[in-house]
Structures are given as structure tokens and as C-alpha cells.
Amino acid sequence: MKAKIHAPTPANLRRLAAALRQGELVAIPTETVYGLAAHALDAKACRAIFRAKRRPANDPLIVHVLDLAHAEELADFNPPARRLARRFWPGPLTLVLPKHACVPGIVTSGGPTVAIRAPAHPLARRLLQAANIPLAAPSANLFGYISPTNAAHVSEGLGSRIPHILDGGACAVGVESTVLDMTNPKKPRVLRPGAVTVAQLEKFLGVKVHGAKPRGASARQLAPGMLERHYSPRTPLVVGRIPTGPVPAGVAIVLLRQPSGKKTAKHVHWLSRRGALTEVARNLYDVLRRADAGRYRLIRVEPLPADASGLAAAINDRLKRAAKR
């Protein structure tokens, strides 16, 4: 049976809130990507997320809450983490902190910390308010594949595996949230880059923000998005300079900006009209999905500078993981 796509009416929001309280799965829009939501304090419901996504149990989930007050019911906030939440929430920043006993081990992959954020998407917030429960919600796709940024993407990947999709249009950010480990506030670590940048975090905290190395696929992950290979199309993908001249048959080209000229070849895709990073990020997964559906033997993506910072660093991170084989 195919998942029902629900328009964002008040009646549907009430219906989906009740479904979540009863342990059902609902794909929901956030400002980053669509998430597959379940009652975060219901271990059985959260196990259903792992089954639907075919997600390994060693990869923890992000818990979504309405605000800091709700987050403090689930995790121990130190003063710098509390300040970060007040500054960047609601928004695309996930904080990793010591969990409270009420958070099931399935959510944290058996670890002592929980990843938590308050989403900014108005529909996600209305649903959180109506349900009055925290929602565990990883990306609403089969594990390892390109994340979904609209309801059609969710239906293509999980439509036969889940009952409900809330249609909130296209995601505004387009890449997953920044994940910041704040268990040691003197040494914060970005576990996954995103729209909230290292520069913003360092300026706000007044301390250096460190990075973290990916973990092997069999190890318990500290947070989502740390695997070396992730966000990957089925078609092999390489990131590198786009050669001039004729393109070999069977190769899709993905450019950062729209090429000049009135007519563009079918195999040429672009991420932005003028190369704006916010537009590149917003369109990245949709364009990769379209290229992946084109039955090419290879997708070649034009790179951003290797030492790029800010949002460009997040885009590079996703492309690097997508290209890993």
C-alpha cells in the first residue's frame, strides 16, 4: 500500500499528530531535508524507523523538539549549549549532549548522548506542538541514499514502506543540519557541517571549534552523517574539474551554475543560475536524484574549492561522501 501524501491542513495535522502519538511513522518536512518521524520516547516506534529505512542500529537518530524547555527534559544542557540553543534555535543546528534516562537506547544506538534540535520549518513546528511529544526523525529515505527535499522524493524511496507523508513543499536549506558535540563545552566539535557554520559557532562561543573524523561503518556512530560513504546516488559519482570539449557518452555533468547559451544538452545539469551557495545547497539533492534517474554510467560534479568554508564546506562534505565507493 502506497503512503498517503497529506496536504498541510489543520485537520490533517491533527490526524498526523494522533498517528505519531500512537506509534506510527510520518515523513515530515523540515528546513533541511524531510525526516521520517516517530515518537522519540517510544522504543517500538523508533525501531520501526530503522526497519523502514534499512538503517543499521549503530547509527543514532536526531530528536526534534519545539524549544529549549522541551529539550532540557531529554538532555543535560551546560551553559554554553543553552546559549547556543537560544541563539540558533529554531534552526539547522543539532547539539549532542548527555541524555536523560527517558530517551530509549535505540535512539542513541546505546550511547550516553543524544543528538537534539528544534526545527524551523513552520509545519514541523505545528506538528510538534499538536503532537506534544519529541520526534526522532532521520532523513526520510532508504539508508545511505540521497536525502529527500520534497514529498515526491520521499514517496519514491519509502512510499511502499511507510503510511504517511506530510507535504511541506521543497526544503529551504537542502542539506542536513550542522551537528555540534557539546559534551565538553571547552572543546566543541562539529561532527557534521551544515548551514550553521564553524565561523558562526566560533564567533558566538569564543573558542575554537574542532572537527571530527569519520568512523568505520561497523562502529557506533556519535551522530548521524559521520559515515565515510553516505548521501550516495546509485550511479558512480566523481567530483572534479569538468573537461572542455565533447563529453563521453553515458556521463552526466553537474555544474555549479547555469551555462550560458540558449540550449543545454540533456546530460548537463546545474545547481544554481549564478552559483549562489544557498541555491546550490537547496538544489543539490534534487539535481543528484535527477541525474541518478537518467541511466548514466557516471555522474561528474564540478567541485567547489577544496579549502572552502561556511556553507561550501557542508556541500563539499556531502559530495565527498556521495563519491566514496
pLDDT digits (tens, 9 = 90+) for 36-61: 999 999 999 999 999 999 999 999 99
| CA-to-CA separations, 211 to 181, 192, 262, in angstroms, rounded | 10, 8, 43
Q: How far apart are CA 188 and CA 231, in angstroms?
A: 25
Residues 6+ apart with CB under 8 A from 129: 66
User: How would residue 242 be classed by pLDDT, with cut points 50, 70 and 90?
Assistant: confident
User: How would residue 214 be classed by pLDDT, with cut points 50, 70 and 90?
Assistant: low
Contact 188, 201 (CB under 8 A): yes
* Burial classification of residue 320, based on how many CB atoms lie within 10 Å of its CB (0-12 exposed, 13-18 middle, 19 or more buried): middle
Q: Which amino acid is at 171?
A: C
- β 62-64/35-39 pair status: unpaired
Domains, the chain, with CATH or none: 4-211 (3.90.870.10), 237-323 (no CATH)
pLDDT in tens, 295-314: 999 999 998 887 777 899 99
What's the pTM value of the predicted model, to 2 decimals? 0.95
User: How would residue 227 be classed by pLDDT, with cut points 50, 70 and 90?
Assistant: confident
The per-residue pLDDT for 216 is 60
Contact 37, 28 (CB under 8 A): yes
User: How would residue 225 be classed by pLDDT, with cut points 50, 70 and 90?
Assistant: confident
pLDDT in tens, 258-298: 988 766 788 999 999 988 999 999 999 999 999 999 999 99
